[in-house]
A and B are shown apart, each in its own frame.
Chain A
């Protein structure tokens, strides 16, 4: 049984102004997250990601549908039951949301106080958590004395204080620079491997999914348009809206605007070849082109690595006799995915 299971979940907000339209932040959503997963949820701003993650710990209540966490129906819980549920679900935020009136140690201790942990057990647990996130020397500091990365590490320590089984990360690295992002992601990986915590990561950053997630769902307009293994979804998205999103975050596919610019420089035929997982060598494709008498120039491209599995897109400008190019494309189409850019008018 999945650890988190959402069935036909809808969340609507009443119109913000009189006579306005009802806003459906999430609609008819189904999602299963297994224990031990690092589940990425990716999509444009306003796709409903933040609402979705808050439905899991009931910071937002669903308008309809069923939400099971560890077999318990969240949507029917009373306030006191919700508080118990939340002790088992940690959460970290884009803006860290640390308590400015408390020290680092005080921030980490707060959930323990809420959980009525015996006083004598709090200090050792706080020390243990600060050691885990590498901030033992900052226990007596206040949040404003910390860097962004340190703040998020305090956030992680606070979220883990009550030893939850689930950690929700809402754009947890979006306010951090690339290097700090990397450190925080490594820390989250350790949370998953060392404590077996199931992590749900909301992000619009490809890097986060690429380095962290084991599975991914693409959200658009309050729905999940595609979900599955990270490599499959990113190397070969099947739905139009996920293709559109993936193409904005995956390196190597020229955007429409870039294609127009490329067209001006290369009047011939332009094709994009998509390689996945090393099942076709680039060399074989290039030699096919050469044998057919087609000259080519690499004009755009990129190679992506997702946890050791590689895929890439190469855009070529082809020159040669029309029938030779047709023949060559027919040959290589049996080996790789070929997408031809529409010719210019």
Chain B
């Protein structure tokens, strides 16, 4: 315990940084994943913008990038991060790479949840003369909102997990804190404190997600 108390300010700082990294990655990656997922859904056969070649390209793209272990992806994408954000290290670099990786994962979750919308509902909207883009924006997303919220909640938890390796490129957060002050200094209590904070964050996120999804589904 005595090891931990002087480190508390650093723990709070690390918690803040984790929330910062996860929050921004969720915004950028979430948006990118939504667009990519809508692309996957709408270009598959018998969908709104059926387009075999485009679907094929998107599908392969997602399949190529999604399974790469994040810590390797982080290293591999460093030149790209440097090119886009101007830096290959620190929180900015990790947010960029995390958003990119998350977008591919989120796209599948979005695609799967949109597939739960009954095709008949889309047909009904087409039958009243709604344009395809109107259907996509005003109907498809609201109809799948409940499961989408749960999908995004799942992703936030995954982002917390992935953000823990930020230290490898000089980023901060609870992962860096736990390794630097806990593991390397032989202070398991410090590591466990970081674990505890992560558990609290994950619980709160899941609680919020469940609540919002319940509201969207009205049950």
Residues of A within 8 A of B (CB): 57, 59, 79, 82-87, 89-91, 93, 95, 97-102, 110-111, 114-115, 142, 144, 155, 158-159, 161-162, 168
Q: Can you name 27 A-B pairs with beta carbons within 8 Å?
A: A59-B127, A86-B127, A90-B127, A90-B128, A91-B124, A91-B127, A95-B118, A95-B120, A97-B118, A97-B120, A97-B121, A97-B124, A98-B124, A99-B121, A99-B124, A99-B125, A99-B139, A100-B121, A101-B143, A101-B145, A111-B129, A111-B130, A114-B134, A159-B128, A161-B128, A162-B128, A168-B127
Residue-by-residue, is B84-126 near A (CB-CB < 8 Å gives 1, otherwise 0)?
0000000000000000000000000000000000101101111
Contact status of A158 and B143, CB under 8 A, knowing A97-B118, A97-B123:
no
- The tally of CB-CB contacts under 8 A between chains A and B is 71
Asked whether, in the complex, the Cβ of B126 is within 8 Å of the Cβ of A93, the reply is no
Q: A142–B134 contact, CB under 8 A?
A: no
How distant is the Cα of A144 from the Cα of B143 in the complex, in angstroms? 13
A57 contacts B127, CB within 8 Å? Answer: yes
Find chain B residues with CB under 8 A from A79 CB.
Answer: 131
For the complex of A and B, list the 3 residue pairs with the smallest distance between their C-beta atoms, beginning with the closest: A111-B128, A86-B129, A101-B142
User: Of the candidates A95, A144, A158, which one forms a contact with B128 in the assembled complex, judged by CB atoms under 8 Å apart?
Assistant: A158
A82 to B129, CA, bound (A): 7
| B interface, size bucket | 10 to 19
Which residues on A sit within 8 Å (CB–CB) of B131?
79, 83, 114
In the complex, A83 Cα to B127 Cα: how many Å? 8
B residues contacting A by CB (< 8 A) are: 118, 120-121, 123-131, 134, 139, 142-143, 145, 218
Partner of B124 from A83, A84, A93, A162 at Cβ < 8 Å = A93
Question: In the bound complex, how far is the Cα of B128 from the Cα of A159, in angstroms?
Answer: 7
**Distance A79 CA – B142 CA, assembled complex (angstroms):** 24
CB distance from B192 to the nearest CB of A (A): 44
CA distance A89 to B121 in the complex (A): 17
Chain B residues whose C-beta falls within 8 Å of the C-beta of A114 in the assembled complex: 128-131, 134
Q: Which residues of A contact B124 (CB under 8 A)?
A: 91, 93, 97-99, 155, 158
- List the B residue with the shortest CB-CB distance to A82: B129
